[in-house]
A and B are shown apart, each in its own frame.
Chain A
Amino acid sequence: MTTAAAPIRAKQRPGDRVFSKSAVFAGSMILVTLAAVATFLIVQSIPAFVADGEDASILDTNFWAYVGPLVFGTIWAAALALLIALPISIGIALFISHYAPRRLASALGYVVDLLAAVPSVVFGLWGIGVLAPAVQPLYSWLVDNLGWFPLFAGPVSGTGRTILTAALVLAVMIIPIITAISREVFLQTPVLHEEAALALGATRWEMIRTAVLPFGRPGIISAAVLGLGRALGETMAVAMVLSATGAITFELLTSVNPSTIAANIALSFPEAYGINVNVLIATGLILFIVTFAVNAIARWIVARRAEFSGAN
């Protein structure tokens, strides 16, 4: 009785081994897929970085001069969309979580989620067919009366297919995402905090300002950044709605508009050949890096406050 009994080892059954191995295999497939995405994009992009106007017909001078306006357009359109969508989304999330009658709240949330289910190409059709003609008179009015404001400088676009319209469509598309995440965070506010504020005589808005919003701030920020990531990568709606010329300009209402990376790929790829294909893939790589960075920031904000990890 000097040596301790060896710990009982679980019997290794073939079924167990097969099952756990295949689970590990499936998990590794994720690693392999992402590595493959990165590798293929980088390998295919290398010829583009050194190409000039003689190698690829869509380049004027070099790759960086080509991608510059596209990067600007991508960020500008996404930032405008976020600027429009964020206040509205927070309003909707507050309405569903704190203002709407309890019985209606989940149904209303479902209605907002319906917006997320609409395919982007349908948003594109709607943007051209309905939204652009509807906002064009408003744009004319803005240019005529507020033309001194640099963003609203003329001449006004006759079709309404400007960067602002594209940003409006993008905003409609990211509202459901931002709303869903902020709503979840608002609902997690400790009820005791809310009741304490109300018991001290706060009105509903004061309760929201002092209890709900400070608690939900990291959630709102990460929701906004995730929405920004979605807006950066959105393709078809922008490709269809925006009538792009490729200029770098901040003017919102003219017919001279910067294009976005994703929309440019979708429009140019079907006819591309030779090095042009590599150039377009390289712009895709840059889009991938930008969205990756934006999403990483969002995850980092979420991870800093672990209690919001369930929010996404």
Chain B
Amino acid sequence: MTTTITPPETRGPAAAPVSNSLTAGKLPNGAPWMVLGASLLVSAGLFGVIALSGAEFNWVGTFVVAAIIYVATITLLSRIVEGGRRSTDRFVTALVTGAFLLAMIPLISLSITVVTFGLNRFDVEFFTYSMRNVTGEGGGALHAIIGTVLMTGTAALISIPIGLMTSIYLVEYGRGRLARGITFLVDVMTGIPSIVAGLFAYALFAIFWGPGTRTGIAGAVALAVLMIPVVVRSSEEMLRLVPVELREAAYALGVPKWLTIVKVVLPTSIAGITTGIMLSIARVIGETAPLLIAAGFTNSVNYDMTEGRMQSLPVFVYTQYANQGNPPEAYLDRAWAAALTLILIVMVLNLVARLVARFFAPKYGR
């Protein structure tokens, strides 16, 4: 054993005599970061020169050009040093990371826009006044907030019992054709476009109160149609997670089936069910189209679900934008403030739902 493979003295492009095919021809670990930094510098320099001539510094352009330079450079470098296969790998890695960063652009842009424009009118008056007799500046979204709370609350009152009992039926009782049919129809219901739900509620209540009426209860029914399948789906999943042993233990002790469900199955899965219900509320609270069709829009506070039109936050956003008066800025500011309120409500619901899921989940450990 006198011949030993001598390891290459230097790593990287300079390693001239290739003696070990496993370690030779590999870019150093920090190479991607160095290339990234270099491409950012080059791109910033390029746009900096353009900015010197008087134009504004183009941030988006800087990042786009930097990304293109980075992808091209790292692919080329890798092809020279590491060969075709690794070069393709690095190319795809750059693309996949780029796809993620690309999706972050609308999210960041949207958050910044909503917060900056929304804060213009995010004041006490906005939450304590309605739009009754308001033209131009001033006014608020109190009527819309009341309408949203009433209609979403009613929709939740309709859909939580139906959705929860349906999921109990599917998990605990359902056998045969009816159960399969219901599962299929819940899938169909998930796919109903929201505006079709609005049309349905409108057509349903046109029978009772004549064509052209728009009421809060019709809006609530439209929301319930959208909410029920979400509640069924999430609760069903949670109920199926309850171990069969728990049910069998209860049966072995002689507990009736309904008491087993109420006292054993539901308490075990209550955290997940609560999460699912809150997420479903978060989903329907931002629905605009069905409420525009079924509940209409108004400038006054209305507490009566069965009489008269009812405003809601998303429809408030839309009407403030669509029917701009004078000065238009006042209307746009109100629209953005309502959008900010809406997003905050949805975010809080999402956050609380996830916290509930995390902290109240049953402990399966022994």
Binding site for B on A (CB under 8 A): 13, 15-16, 18-20, 22-31, 33-34, 36-37, 40-41, 43-44, 87-92, 94-96, 99-100, 108, 110-112, 114-115, 117-126, 128-131, 134, 172, 175, 179, 203-206, 208, 226, 229, 232-236, 239-240, 262, 265-266, 269-270, 273, 277, 280-281, 284-285, 287-288, 291-292, 294-296, 299
A291 close to B107 (CB less than 8 A): no
* Cβ-based interface call for B335 (8 A): yes
Residue of A nearest to B282 (CB): A117
The CA of A15 and the CA of B346, in the complex, are separated in Å by 38
* Cβ-based interface call for B225 (8 A): yes
- Answer whether A203 and B99 are a contact pair too, CB < 8 Å, given A23-B169, A118-B343: no
- Residues facing A in B53-112 (CB within 8 A) are 60, 85-86, 88-89, 92-93, 95-100, 102-104, 106-107, 109-110
B343 close to A240 (CB less than 8 A): no
Q: Is the interface of A mostly helix, strand, loop or mixed?
A: helix
Which residues from chain A contact B286 at a C-beta distance below 8 Å?
A: 117-122
Which residues from chain A contact B296 at a C-beta distance below 8 Å?
A: 270
Which residues from chain B contact A28 at a C-beta distance below 8 Å?
A: 178
Which residues from chain B contact A20 at a C-beta distance below 8 Å?
A: 173, 257-258
B166 close to A23 (CB less than 8 A): yes
B318 close to A124 (CB less than 8 A): yes
The CA of A112 and the CA of B106, in the complex, are separated in Å by 11
A37 close to B178 (CB less than 8 A): no
Which residues from chain B contact A284 at a C-beta distance below 8 Å?
A: 193, 195-196, 199
The CA of A221 and the CA of B286, in the complex, are separated in Å by 28
A-B contact pairs, 7 of them (CB 8 A): A34-B189, A37-B200, A41-B199, A95-B96, A206-B89, A277-B211, A291-B196
B98 close to A30 (CB less than 8 A): no
- Answer whether A265 and B200 are a contact pair too, CB < 8 Å, given A26-B162, A33-B228: no
B199 close to A26 (CB less than 8 A): no
The CA of A260 and the CA of B335, in the complex, are separated in Å by 24
Residue of A nearest to B86 (CB): A203
Q: Closest Cβ of chain A: how far from B56's Cβ, in Å?
A: 13
The CA of A299 and the CA of B189, in the complex, are separated in Å by 13
Which residues from chain B contact A205 at a C-beta distance below 8 Å?
A: 88-89, 92-93
* Cβ-based interface call for B234 (8 A): no
* Cβ-based interface call for B314 (8 A): yes
The CA of A123 and the CA of B314, in the complex, are separated in Å by 11
The CA of A2 and the CA of B316, in the complex, are separated in Å by 79
Select B114's contact among A22, A126, A262, A277, beta carbons within 8 Å.
A126
The CA of A67 and the CA of B261, in the complex, are separated in Å by 50
The CA of A128 and the CA of B262, in the complex, are separated in Å by 50
A292 close to B293 (CB less than 8 A): no
Which residues from chain A contact B96 at a C-beta distance below 8 Å?
A: 91-92, 94-95, 99
Which residues from chain B contact A277 at a C-beta distance below 8 Å?
A: 211
Which residues from chain B contact A269 at a C-beta distance below 8 Å?
A: 292-293
Residues 153-190 of B, flagged 1 when their CB comes within 8 A of A and 0 if not, give 00000000111111011101110001101101111111
Q: Closest Cβ of chain B: how far from A70's Cβ, in Å?
A: 13
The CA of A269 and the CA of B218, in the complex, are separated in Å by 15
B114 close to A281 (CB less than 8 A): no
Which residues from chain A contact B100 at a C-beta distance below 8 Å?
A: 91-92, 95-96, 100, 108
A33 close to B107 (CB less than 8 A): no
* Cβ-based interface call for B191 (8 A): yes
B102 close to A88 (CB less than 8 A): yes
Binding site for A on B (CB under 8 A): 60, 85-86, 88-89, 92-93, 95-100, 102-104, 106-107, 109-110, 113-114, 117, 161-166, 168-170, 172-174, 178-179, 181-182, 184-197, 199-200, 203-204, 211-212, 225, 228, 232, 256-259, 261-262, 282, 285-289, 292-293, 296-297, 314, 317-318, 321-322, 335-336, 339, 342-343, 346-347, 350, 354
Select A30's contact among B99, B182, B195, B321, beta carbons within 8 Å.
B182
A29 close to B195 (CB less than 8 A): no
Q: Closest Cβ of chain B: how far from A264's Cβ, in Å?
A: 10
Residue of B nearest to A100 (CB): B100
Q: Closest Cβ of chain B: how far from A46's Cβ, in Å?
A: 12
The CA of A120 and the CA of B343, in the complex, are separated in Å by 11
The CA of A124 and the CA of B287, in the complex, are separated in Å by 12
Which residues from chain B contact A281 at a C-beta distance below 8 Å?
A: 199, 203
The CA of A142 and the CA of B58, in the complex, are separated in Å by 19
Which residues from chain B contact A175 at a C-beta distance below 8 Å?
A: 103
The CA of A307 and the CA of B195, in the complex, are separated in Å by 33
| Interface contacts beyond A26-B161, A27-B169, A126-B110: sample of 16 additional A-B pairs, CB < 8 Å, sorted by A | A13-B256, A15-B259, A23-B169, A24-B173, A26-B163, A30-B182, A37-B225, A40-B200, A119-B288, A119-B346, A121-B339, A233-B192, A236-B318, A270-B297, A291-B193, A299-B187
Which residues from chain B contact A40 at a C-beta distance below 8 Å?
A: 200, 203-204
Which residues from chain B contact A88 at a C-beta distance below 8 Å?
A: 99, 102-103
B293 close to A266 (CB less than 8 A): yes
Which residues from chain B contact A129 at a C-beta distance below 8 Å?
A: 113, 117
Which residues from chain B contact A299 at a C-beta distance below 8 Å?
A: 184, 187
